[in-house]
Structure formats: C-alpha cells, structure tokens
Amino acid sequence: MGVKQTVYIVDDEEPVRNALCFLAKSDGLNFESFDSAQAFLDSLENIGPGCLLLDVCMPDMTGLELQVALHERKAEIPVIILTGHADVATAVRAMKGGATDFIEKPFDSEDLLERVHQCLSGEAKRRDSLDWRKQASERLARLTRRELEVMEGLVAGKRNKQIGEELFISFRTVELHRASIMEKLEANSLSDVVRIALVAESED
Amino acid sequence: MTIEKHIYDISSTMQPLAAEVSLSHSDNDVNTGGCVLLLNVDDKVRNLLSNKDLEYLYFDEVATRQQMFTNIVQMQNKVDVMVMGVQLKEPVGIAQRVHAINNDVPILILTEPERYEQLKQALIFTPFLSNNVTPWSTDALDQFADVLQETIQRKHKRRSYKKTIAAAQKRLGDVYHERPQVKHYLDRLLDHVPLGILNVDILGSVMGLNRFASQILNRTEREAIGTLLTDIFPESERDALHDLIAQCVAPARTRIPEVFDISETVGKIRHVEVMASSLVDSSGQLGATVILQDVTGRVCAEQERSRAEDALRVSEGLYRELVQTMSEALALTDEQHRITYVNDSFCNMFGYSSEDVLNKPLLGFVHEDDKEAMRECMSNPVQGGGVQRYETAWVTKKGDKIYTLTSPKRLFDPEIGYVGCLGVFTNITERKKVEEREKRHMMELAHVSRVTTLGEMSSQIAHELAQPLAAIAALSTGCLKMLKSETSDRDEIIESLTNISEQSSRAREVVLRLRNFVRNDEIQYTQIELNQLVRTVVHLVEMEARWHSLPVKLELQGQFPIAFGDRILIEQVVLNLVHNAIEAMQAVERQKRKLIIRTSNLDKRTLQVEVIDSGPGIDEENIKKIFQPFFTTKADGMGMGLAITRSIIDAHHGQLTASRNEQGGTTFCFTLPVDKREEASGR
C-alpha cells in the first residue's frame, strides 16, 4: 500500500467530532474533520484516498443528502454512516445510497476502528485493482491484431497446434507470436497472460 | 262587770311613756270595752248593736237632745263614741254643739244612702268640727259594728297619747311654744327645701306639711291636714308605709328609706322615697316626721334600664341561640389566639367538647400542612373591611383531616386595639376530597400524556443520549490507545479525560431531565422562572427540531416576574405545544418552517407564553374542537394532549387559547398568574 489514506470525519456536533478525531489520532490514522456536509462538499477537490465517517442527523444538509451529492459529482469515496437513531428507513436509504457501512451511536470504539480499517483496506484494494487493470489494458494495447488473436486462443486454453490450424498459420509461427506476447505483456508464464487478459476484459 | 270599772282598767294599763305607744293595731285592742251614747236610733240599729259581739260595750240611749248634752257634760271623757240615728234632725248642728263641749268625742252619723254624699259635703265645710265626725250610710249597716269598734279603739289610743304628751310637757316645760318665731322661721325654711316634709300625729293624721310635700302628694295643705297619711297612699302600699312609720318610733331601729308608688292616688306617675323619724317634744311622743323625696325620675330611669336590660337579655339569648345552632362552626379567640368561645357546630365538626378547646390556642388544631400559613395569617392582623377567606386543614379529635373555608373577622376595640378574632368555618372536606380526586385524576392523565409524548420523541431522546455516549466511548478508547503507545501525549490525554467528564455530565443531565419529566409526583406549587423553563423544554425538543430542520426562535422578555405553579406540569404544557408545532410544520416546506416561543407580561398579575408555528394552521371548524378530549387530526393521535394541556392550565387559574396567524400557522397562548409574594414585593 503505497499512499497513506485519510479518515474524513463529518459531524456537526463538536464534542463528538473532536472525540472521533482523537480516536483516529490515537490509532495512528490520518484524519480531517468538517462541521457540516456543505463544508466537506466545498473542499471535495482536495480530498485524497481514504474514507468518510458521516453523521446522518445534521441541519441544512443531512448525511444522506451528502451521499446523493457525492454520487452526482462522481466522487468515489467509501462512506461509513453514523447515526444516533437507527430506524430501518434511514438504514435502507443509506445502504441504497451506496454506504459501505452503517454504525449506530453510541458505538463500540474498537469496533468502529476495526470497521474503519476494513473500509480503508477495501479501498486500498480497490485502488490497487484499479491500477492493475490500467496496466493490463496498456500492455494489451502493445499487441498486434494477430498476437491478440493468438492470445485469445491461449486464454481459451487451446494448444499451439490447434491455434495454428484455426488461424491458418504454422505451429512454429504460433510459438513466435506467443514469445512476443509474453514479452509485450511482461508475463512470466501463460497464467500471467491469462490474468492480464481477464483483468483487462473486466473493465467493461 | 260595770262599764266604769272596765274603762278604769283600760286607762290604768295605759303607760305614760312615749316609747311604748304604738300606732299599729294590736290584737288585744280588738275587744276593748267602751261607752256608746245613742241618740234617736231606731230599732234596726238597736237590734244590730245587741249583737253578741258587742256585749262588752255599754250603751246609753238618750231620747232627747237635752238629755244628751247633760250626759256629755256629766260623763266628760267617759263617752267613747256617739251615734246619731237616721231620724235625727240637723245632725251636723248637734255634732257642732257636742264638739263645742268636748271635741274628743268621735261621732258617727247614720244617714240614708241618698243623703250620704250631701251630709259628707256638709261635714267637710262645717267649721269647728274635728276630723272624727264620720257619716255612715244605712246601706252599710252590716259593717257598722266594726266601725263602731274601730272608732272606740282610736279614741282610747288618742286619750292615752294625750296623757303621755301632757305628762312629757309637764316634765320638759313648754319650750316649743315659748319660741313661736323660731317655729315660723323653721316653717318658712322648710317650704324651700326640695324635700317633702310632713308631720303626722300619733294616729297617723297629717298635722303639717311643707310646700314640696303638698306638691309631691298632689294635695293642698288644707286637703292634707287632718287626713290619715296612709289614706293618701294606694291601698297596696298602706301596710308597708304604716310599718315604716311605726318602726321609726323605735329608737334603736336603723331607718331605711323605702320607695312607694303613689301614682294611683295622686293621678300621675309618681314614686316617692319615704323616710320617717319620730317627732318628740317636751310633752312626749307627738308623732313622726316623714320625709318624702320625689324619685319618679330615678325609678322611671331604673325601670327603663331594667326593661332595656330585659330586652337586651332576650336579644342576646336569641343571638346566642342562633350562633349556637347555626350550621357553620364558629369560634372566638382572644388577642393571644386562644379560644374563648365555640358553638355546637364547632364541637360537632371537630369532635371536641367545648371544655376541651376553651383557652387552648387555635393553632393547635390546625393541620401540620397549614400551620405555617396560619401563623403568618395570625401575625399579620389586617385591619379594615373585606372578609378574606382561607382554605385551612384541621385535625379533629379522632385525628381525621378536615378542610374548612375560614372567614376570620378581626375584632378591634377603639381603645385597646386588637382584641381577638371571630372565625366562621364552613366544612368543605367533601368538596375538597372531590377536588383532590379530580386533581389526582388530572395528574395521572398528565403523567400518561407525558409518557406518551416522550414515547413519540423516543428516537430523538435516544439520539440526545447517544451523542455524549458516543463521544465518551471514542475518547476513552483514544486515551487507552494513547497510553499504550509510546507516543502518548500527556496534555492530550488530560484534555480528553476532561471532555469525557463533560460528556458524562451532559448525559446525566438528559437523564435527570427525563426522569423529572416522567415522575408522577403530587402537584407541587413552586416559584417558576418561566424563561428558564422554556429553555429547558427547548433542550428536550432541540433534537427533534433539528431533525426536522426547523429553527426555534426564543423571544424571551428580560426582567420577567416569577410565576407560580407546578414546574413539571408547566414544562409539559410547553413541551406539548412545541411538540405539536413541530409536528404540524412537517407538512410545510423546509424553508418555511419557523417556530417562535415568546414570553411576555400580559399585565401586572399575568404572564403569557406564546408558541407560534408556521404550519398549515387549523381551520375555523376545528379550532373550536381542538381542546376537546379525543379530538385529533393526527393519524395516530389519541386526542388527549391538548385536553390535558388545557386542564393543567385551568388548574393553574390560567387560560389556554389557540388562534390562527395572519401569515398562516397557529399561535397557542397560555397565561399563568404571577407569584403572589412576587406581586406583593412589587417587582
């Protein structure tokens, strides 16, 4: 995990906000706090990787409304909803709005931290996978049309002979293409090739 | 026994000493013998006189006037009475001549009834006759014997007095007669004395009287002299007067004046005080001096007073009866508030006998709850009009608690000042019980309503509690982690622990507020700072308001007087109204939601709280019904909230009203009285 992530805390009540900040700090987490949903929205440009601890019950703009606003702006940040009164309707709205987690106040602090860590690691993975796919696509782009056809055959698990027959090329030529693909995709084995191909496809 | 002998015997028994002479008739006088000279009497009289009762008398009948005169001269004083018959011509003339010879002889003249008055008149106007010529009508012959006897007795007595007087005069010399100027002078002096003074002779006949006496007795001097004093007095008084005069003769006797009513005989209302003293001169007992004092004014005043007293006694008795039997209890206390009187109803009401309570302090019967108030009331005796009424709790002999409506009337004496108190007590225990039952009922309903309201607000309340708890949880975990790690920052930990403590008190406050609010206490009237109460309630609903994104604006008047009421109930009223307002405003757009709570002075004695919302408002039809029980516009409402709210305000002697705002929405407004102590202090 290369980049250090940040916990963004949005709560209008100062005591709670400060307490959450202190908790994050004590756990060695990076944190940043906002006293309203609007304040967070205003500084959206500066928001880096991390997660959002969001209180639902706030005047002017509630946590749920902020969720909608973030969607509209295509800001992708995992959201943990904090709420003082957990009625089913609020929970459903929060989860439908794409919340990663839903925590009731008063919470168990260890539990809260654990969920924050889970959320952060999930996000890290997501970000990682996001990177891997990008690379795969780039590598795939290096391949020629004939090489791509050969690769499809490899990924489908066909033998070199069979691929040559289908493409009306010699067994030898298939082997040459195959070596070239390995080189271009920076793959050490056939399984690497398959993985890259699948990741790249999964983009759609 | 011869007449002479008999007469002699009587004479010899007469004592010449004044002290032994009595004017009263004594029993041994009744059968005194005597000599009766009869002139021209007819058979009828003769037969009468031969009566067995008179056989001790000697009758000497003479046929002619000449013989009679001879007898008179010869017998001298031995003739005790002379009786003239009906047939005798010119009896008055004869009597005159008899008395010319000897005026000591009493004469009885018999006459026909029709001539009686004429004869009497003639006798009155005839000179040289002494007062012992008596006419007697023949129609009263049956009493004649008695008259005859009486006359004889009187004659005897007079003779003995004369002897006594003569003897005394002989001894003392005729001092009185030698100084006529003195007597004249004295008479004139007496005429100017404002006392009636008269002298009576030994027989009780008036001998002389001064002017005042004649005025009192309403008799001219001429009318009075010679008549018996007792005759002037009414029949009923004669014996007493007789006794009085008789007593004065006895020297050892203390003389006590007596009052006589002589109205009957003098022709107008007159009371005289009579005092008698014996009149003695050198010749011995002359009679008595009688002093008369007109006490008509005094007696009449006394009678008047006594009548008034009687009337007063009757009226007092009437009032006592009234007070004693009235259905209200009544007690009188002295200036130390000790009981001096109680009526029957008081005893019945309290179960004590009047002996139990008399002289005990009234305060001792007051119930513990009201002692302080009663003491205060007693120590501030307010003068002037206007009856104040107090509700007071008492303890009966059985130990029961009773309530009365007490109307004390303070009693002031213009000189001494406060002298005590009159209290009238009406038993209102039954009414009070009903009231208390109703109040308890209301309290229970109010409690249910509070719990219901809180139930509706439970999620907000949970949130209210969740906040500090969340903060505490986060902070405490943070501290632990800090302490466990090597990077622990002491200052930061201290700050966090401080915050933990703050947050726990915040949670505690919420809990306390809730607990107070749902407590089902007795109603407790205290002083209430209304502004503070409003703020407390706003704290309770803050979450809810924030949840519904509506701003609560407080317009609280500064320098606000203290109200009087039950804190929890008034909190409930405000909460109900605010809660309703918040609910009502959910129906309007968020931007238009606005809640104002305003406190103000309606007047010196009344405080007002308004809860103004910007909700959809209530239509005219419903605004009249909203305070009725079970009326609701909410889908899940019970319809009790406003009904209870109104009954709470009613119980506080306030008013709860609802009205539509001009700009839409509803204003609920309630009033409360200013605390009386506050009012009195004039703040």
Tell if the CB–CB gap between A59 and B549 is shorter than 8 Å: yes
Tell if the CB–CB gap between A110 and B477 is shorter than 8 Å: yes
Angstrom distance (rounded) from CA A8 to CA A95: 19
Complex ipTM > 0.85: no
Lowest mean pLDDT among B226-235, B318-327, B416-425, B633-642: B633-642
Residue B418 forms beta bridges with which residues? Answer: B412
Residue of chain A whose alpha carbon sits nearest to that of B471: A16
B462 in contact with chain A, both atoms CB, cutoff 8 A: yes
Structural contact between residues B29 and B121, judged by C-beta atoms closer than 8 angstroms: no
Angstrom distance (rounded) from CA B263 to CA B236: 12
pLDDT reading at B472 higher than 70: yes
Angstrom distance (rounded) from CA B605 to CA B612: 23
B469 in contact with chain A, both atoms CB, cutoff 8 A: yes
Nearest beta carbon to residue B463 from set A23, A57, A108: A57
Angstrom distance (rounded) from CA B344 to CA B346: 5
Residue B420 forms beta bridges with which residues? Answer: B334, B411
Q: Which of B4, B182, B178, B149 lies closest to B76 in space, CA to CA? A: B4
pLDDT reading at B665 higher than 70: yes
Residue of chain B whose alpha carbon sits nearest to that of A86: B459
Pairing between strand B81-84 and B58-62? unpaired
Angstrom distance (rounded) from CA B141 to CA B219: 31
The backbone region for B38, taken as left when phi is positive above 0, alpha when psi lies in -120 to 50, beta otherwise, is: beta
Mean pLDDT calculated for residue range B253-261: 75
Confidence of residue B682 (pLDDT cuts 50, 70, 90): very low
Angle at A152 between CA A147 and CA A153, to 5 degrees: 95
Tell if the CB–CB gap between A85 and B474 is shorter than 8 Å: no
Mutate to test the interface with B, among A23, A61, A104 (most CBs of B within 10 A): A23
Query: Which amino acid is present at B500?
Result: I
What is the distance in angstroms between the Cα of B452 and the nearest Cα belonging to chain A?
A: 19
Q: What residues in A contact B496, CB-CB < 8 Å?
A: 19, 22
Edge-to-edge order in the sheet of strand A6-10: A30-34, A6-10, A50-55, A79-83, A101-104
Nearest beta carbon to residue B473 from set A25, A87, A108: A108
Tell if the CB–CB gap between B474 and A20 is shorter than 8 Å: yes
Confidence of residue A112 (pLDDT cuts 50, 70, 90): very high
Q: What is the pLDDT of residue B41?
A: 81
Mean pLDDT calculated for residue range A41-68: 88
Angstrom distance (rounded) from CA A35 to CA A12: 5
Residue of chain A whose alpha carbon sits nearest to that of B551: A59
Q: Which of A163, A52, A137 lies closest to A101 in space, CA to CA? A: A52
A15 in contact with chain B, both atoms CB, cutoff 8 A: yes
φ and ψ at B391, to 5 degrees? -95, 125
pLDDT reading at B480 higher than 50: yes
Which residues contact residue A183 at a Cβ distance below 8 angstroms, ignoring those fewer than 6 apart? none
What is the distance in angstroms between the Cα of B553 and the nearest Cα belonging to chain A?
A: 15
Sort B10 into a burial class: Cβ within 10 Å, 0-12 / 13-18 / 19+: middle
Q: What residues in B contact A110, CB-CB < 8 Å?
A: 477
Confidence of residue A116 (pLDDT cuts 50, 70, 90): very high
Higher pLDDT, B641 or B530: B530
CA distance between the termini of chain A: 26
Q: Is B320 helix (H, G, I), strand (E, B) or coil?
A: helix
Cis peptide before A106 (omega within 30 of 0): yes
pLDDT reading at B5 higher than 60: no
Tell if the CB–CB gap between B466 and A109 is shorter than 8 Å: no
Angstrom distance (rounded) from CA B414 to CA B420: 13
Q: What is the pLDDT of residue B19?
A: 37
Angstrom distance (rounded) from CA B326 to CA B494: 79
Q: Which of B430, B352, B367 lies closest to B397 in space, CA to CA? A: B352
Tell if the CB–CB gap between A105 and B503 is shorter than 8 Å: no
Residue B381, CB half-sphere, CA atoms under 13 Å: how many? 15
Nearest beta carbon to residue A106 from set B466, B482, B502: B466
Mean pLDDT calculated for residue range B188-202: 80
Tell if the CB–CB gap between B546 and A59 is shorter than 8 Å: yes
Q: What residues in A contact B549, CB-CB < 8 Å?
A: 59-60
Tell if the CB–CB gap between A85 and B460 is shorter than 8 Å: yes
Structural contact between residues B136 and B117, judged by C-beta atoms closer than 8 angstroms: no
Structural contact between residues B36 and B258, judged by C-beta atoms closer than 8 angstroms: no
Which of the 8 DSSP states describes residue B56?
Answer: T
Angstrom distance (rounded) from CA B48 to CA B142: 8
Residue B62 forms beta bridges with which residues? Answer: B39
Q: What is the pLDDT of residue B475?
A: 93
Q: What is the pLDDT of residue B681?
A: 54
| Residue B91 vs residues B72, B84, B86, B94: alpha-carbon distances, Å | 16, 7, 9, 5
Q: In the structure encoding, which two tokens stand for residue B361, read together?
A: 């302090």
Angstrom distance (rounded) from CA B487 to CA A18: 19
Residue B516 forms beta bridges with which residues? Answer: none
Mean pLDDT calculated for residue range B208-225: 83
Q: What residues in A contact B485, CB-CB < 8 Å?
A: 26, 28
Q: What residues in B contact A23, CB-CB < 8 Å?
A: 474-475, 477-478, 481
Q: What is the pLDDT of residue B471?
A: 92
Q: In the structure encoding, which two tokens stand for residue A60, read together?
A: 């002017």
Mean pLDDT, chain B, rounded, equals: 79
Q: Is B484 helix (H, G, I), strand (E, B) or coil?
A: helix
What part of B 496-525 touches A (C-beta under 8 Å)? Answer: 496, 499, 502-503, 506
Confidence of residue B678 (pLDDT cuts 50, 70, 90): low
What part of A 16-45 touches B (C-beta under 8 Å)? Answer: 16, 18-20, 22-23, 25-28
User: In this structure, how many other beta carbons lie within 10 angstroms of the beta carbon of residue B395?
Assistant: 16
φ and ψ at B436, to 5 degrees? -65, -35
Angle at B172 between CA B167 and CA B174, to 5 degrees: 95
pLDDT reading at B4 higher than 70: no
Mean pLDDT calculated for residue range A54-74: 87
Q: Mind giving me the DSSP string for A155-186?
A: HTT--HHHHHHHHT--HHHHHHHHHHHHHHTT
Angstrom distance (rounded) from CA B303 to CA B307: 6
Q: What is the pLDDT of residue B27?
A: 39
Q: What is the pLDDT of residue A139?
A: 84
User: In this structure, how many other beta carbons lie within 10 angstroms of the beta carbon of residue B448?
Assistant: 14
Burial letters B419-431, b for 16+ CB under 10 A, else e: ebbebbbbbbbee
pLDDT reading at B103 higher than 80: no
Q: What is the pLDDT of residue B15?
A: 41
Higher pLDDT, B112 or A115: A115
Q: In the structure encoding, which two tokens stand for residue B264, read together?
A: 């009957």
Q: What is the pLDDT of residue A24?
A: 92
**Could you give the percent of chain A with pLDDT greater than 70?**
96
What part of B 62-81 touches A (C-beta under 8 Å)? Answer: none
Pairs of residues, one from chain A and one from chain B, whose beta carbons lie less than 8 Å apart? 90
Nearest beta carbon to residue B466 from set A26, A84, A112: A84
Lowest mean pLDDT among B3-17, B32-46, B249-263, B306-320: B3-17
Burial letters A15-52, b for 16+ CB under 10 A, else e: bbbbbbbbbbbbbebebbbbebbeebbeeeeebebbbb
Q: What is the pLDDT of residue B288?
A: 81
What part of A 48-87 touches B (C-beta under 8 Å)? Answer: 57, 59-60, 82, 84-85, 87
Mean pLDDT calculated for residue range B357-368: 88
Which residues contact residue B639 at a Cβ distance below 8 angstroms, ignoring those fewer than 6 apart? B628, B629, B630, B631, B632
Mutate to test the interface with A, among B460, B467, B484 (most CBs of A within 10 A): B467
Which residues contact residue B405 at a Cβ distance below 8 angstroms, ignoring those fewer than 6 apart? B389, B390, B391, B425, B426, B428
Nearest beta carbon to residue B467 from set A23, A28, A84: A84
Nearest beta carbon to residue A84 from set B462, B476, B480: B462
Q: Which of B571, B568, B567, B535 lies closest to B553 in space, CA to CA? A: B535
What is the distance in angstroms between the Cα of B528 and the nearest Cα belonging to chain A?
A: 31
Structural contact between residues A78 and A94, judged by C-beta atoms closer than 8 angstroms: no
Query: Which amino acid is present at A121?
Result: S
Angstrom distance (rounded) from CA B643 to CA B625: 10
Angstrom distance (rounded) from CA A77 to CA A52: 7
Mutate to test the interface with B, among A7, A20, A22 (most CBs of B within 10 A): A22
Q: What's the maximum distance between 2 C-alpha atoms anywhere in chain A?
A: 75
Confidence of residue B505 (pLDDT cuts 50, 70, 90): very high
Q: What is the pLDDT of residue B386?
A: 55
Distance of CA A151 to the CA centre of its chain: 28
pLDDT reading at B281 higher than 70: no
Q: What is the pLDDT of residue A80?
A: 93
Pairing between strand B271-281 and B258-261? antiparallel
B485 in contact with chain A, both atoms CB, cutoff 8 A: yes
Query: Which amino acid is present at B10?
Result: I
A14 in contact with chain B, both atoms CB, cutoff 8 A: no
- Structural Rg of chain A based on CA atoms: 24
Residue B133 forms beta bridges with which residues? Answer: B107
What is the distance in angstroms between the Cα of B451 and the nearest Cα belonging to chain A?
A: 19
Residue A104 forms beta bridges with which residues? Answer: A83
B476 in contact with chain A, both atoms CB, cutoff 8 A: yes
Nearest beta carbon to residue B503 from set A15, A105, A113: A15
What is the distance in angstroms between the Cα of B586 and the nearest Cα belonging to chain A?
A: 15
Q: What is the pLDDT of residue A3?
A: 67
Q: What is the pLDDT of residue A113?
A: 92
Query: Which amino acid is present at B667?
Result: T
Q: What is the pLDDT of residue B435?
A: 79
Three-class SS of B4-16: HHHHHHHHHHCCC
Which of B191-205, B394-408, B443-457 holds the top average pLDDT?
B394-408
Lowest mean pLDDT among B118-132, B483-497, B591-605: B118-132
Q: In the structure encoding, which two tokens stand for residue A187, read together?
A: 């793959």
Q: What is the pLDDT of residue B636?
A: 63
Q: What residues in A contact B473, CB-CB < 8 Å?
A: 19, 106-109
Nearest beta carbon to residue A16 from set B459, B470, B481: B470
